[in-house]
Amino acid sequence: MSDEVLVEEAGGVAVLTINRPKARNAINGAVARGIAEALDTLEARPDVSAYVLTGAGGTFSAGMDLKGFLTGDLPVVEGRGFGGLTEAPPTKPMVAAVEGYALAGGFELALACDVVVASSEAVFGLPEPRRGLVAGAGGIMRLPRRVPYHVAMEIALTGDHYPASRLYELGLVNRITEPGAALEGALELARKIAANAPLALAATKKVVIESQDWPLEEMFRRQGEIINPVFVSKDAMEGAAAFAEKRAPRWQGE
């Protein structure tokens, strides 16, 4: 794995750390490839059920490495998009642990996650228009699905910075922690998620994401195609047995 992305695993949770603190964890090609390679490996591992994405040195990510952009070092991986993540998020749940800046592409990486835990000092924004650019890594598409229309427009059009407290009020940030404790808070939440059955988690995430655009008359049929295999899985039988026997379940991911 590259030095630009560090990976640690424990208790069913893998922590992916963007490791360019001197550049405020700006996303370059190496970071994008590192995240993509890590996810390619971790998605196939049954012992990993959830992820945490964070940044080293007290900041999440200040966005695309503009110096790299000028030299043609694009932070995009074919099939996965910006940061190796935004166009094809993992099937397993991912929690963002945000300290410091989550700006531009950094904010878009957080928006590609399923849950966001942020320090009280964290700051979010999409300043691309100030640089003659557009938040094309999912920011202006995902943001209106997470916050009210006019708020999304304000954030996207002004390019201003917004504190974590404001995004918590809007429901985009799940939990606020003390400064320096975002990773700890994200790990607590990720471990709670990872304690659940892997197949059920993946199916639940898939339905929540995809059902937003389903026609009313097709909703339950489409949901059934995704969740029916879960109900006949070994883990479903194990969950029922564990409940009856008053013990912790032993998931197999099958």
- Sign of CA pseudo-dihedral 173, 87, 20, 43: positive
Exposure of 158 by Cβ count < 10 A (0-12 exposed, 13-18 middle, 19+ buried)?
middle
**Closest of 76, 62, 78, 80 to residue 31, by C-alpha:** 76
- Sign of CA pseudo-dihedral 226, 33, 3, 108: negative
Per the annotation, the verdict on 128 as an active-site residue is: yes
Q: CA 231, CA 89: separation in Å to the nearest integer? A: 25
Active-site residue identified among 128, 184, 225, 254:
128
**Closest of 102, 78, 224 to residue 166, by C-alpha:** 102
Per the annotation, the verdict on 225 as an active-site residue is: no
Three-class SS state of 161 = strand
Strand partners, 94: 51
Active-site residue identified among 4, 99, 108, 121:
108
Phi-psi region of 17 (alpha: psi -120 to 50; beta: other; left: phi over 0): beta
Q: Which residues are tagged catalytic? A: 108, 128
